[in-house]
Structure 1
Amino acid sequence: MNAPNRYELYVLDEGEKSVEVTEDTKIPNAATIKIVKQDHTLGNMLRAQLLAMPQILFAGYKVPHPLQPYFLIKIQTDGSITPTALLEQACQKLIATLASLEAKFKREFTFRDTDGAQEGPYGAGSNVDNGWTGGRDYLDF
């Protein structure tokens, strides 16, 4: 089989850098950044976070080959900030957003634990006999 071992997709080799920046010589205020041992999940979140920032002119990513565990993200700014500094800001905002989401998720499930209701396999107050009719379901967050 051609696929590498699963641990090779996420564990950095000795001396391997996780981020490599290549300044673009043909496009002003642009850079191509190679992020190693990551996939579409991080690439898409970073791209979306970058596009929400006012200094960005272009942000896109690609995974050149599905068997190679890295992606390339291309960033072009308006010149008021460098692409690497903007990527760092986007990472910090993304970390803060994910921390907020984690806190909300934990808070919701601590409320669910204190309800005292018997939960069936489909959420609080449900059982096989009445299906979706009684209690709350997973959409009632």
Structure 2
Amino acid sequence: MDSNMFSVALDSNTEGTFTFRNEGHTLGNALRYFLIKNKDVEFVGYSVPHPAEPLMNIRVQTHTANPLSTLENSLYNLDEYCDLLLTKLEALD
């Protein structure tokens, strides 16, 4: 991931806050959904500080897993889901 688009602040081995630049509620809510489906995730929440500020923050707390690995896995799952949805939509044509 481009470091200009993403920053990480790990508070511990199981807690972290991730900031995505030029992203908003669309990615935040979808990513929150895929994160909360993970049984090791204890808490996840996202915020868009201000509509004029192009930032989306997502906070992840896990029971035992590394929050960055958990986020990466959820991003992968979201990407796979979007690919599957696109394939199904294209098949309708």
TM-score, length-scaled by structure 1 = 0.62
Shift of residue 35 of structure 1? 0.7
Q: Superposed, which structure 2 residues align to 1:1-141 within 5 Å?
A: 17-24=4-11, 29-79=14-64, 81-109=65-93
Greater RCO, 1 or 2 (C-alpha within 8 Å, sep 6+): 2
Q: How far apart are the structure 1 equivalents of 2:82 and 2:88?
A: 10
5+ residue gaps, structure 1 = 1-14, 110-141
Q: Would you identify which runs of 4 or more consecutive aligned residues in structure 1 move more than 6 Å?
A: none
CA-based RMSD of the aligned residues comes to 1.6
* SS of residue paired to 2:86: helix
Which structure has the greater CA radius of gyration?
1
Structure 1 residues 31 and 98, CA gap change in structure 2 (3 angstroms): same
Q: How far apart are the structure 1 equivalents of 2:19 and 2:53?
A: 12
* SS of residue paired to 1:67: coil
Shift of residue 96 of structure 1? 0.4
* SS of residue paired to 2:20: strand
More strand by share: 2
Percent sequence identity is: 30
Shift of residue 24 of structure 1? 2.0
5+ residue gaps, structure 2 = none
Residues 16-47 of structure 1 show CA distances to partners (whole Å, capped at 9, x for unaligned) of 6111111125xx61101111111110010000
TM-score, length-scaled by structure 2 = 0.92
The alignment of Structure 1 onto Structure 2 pairs a total of residues equal to 92
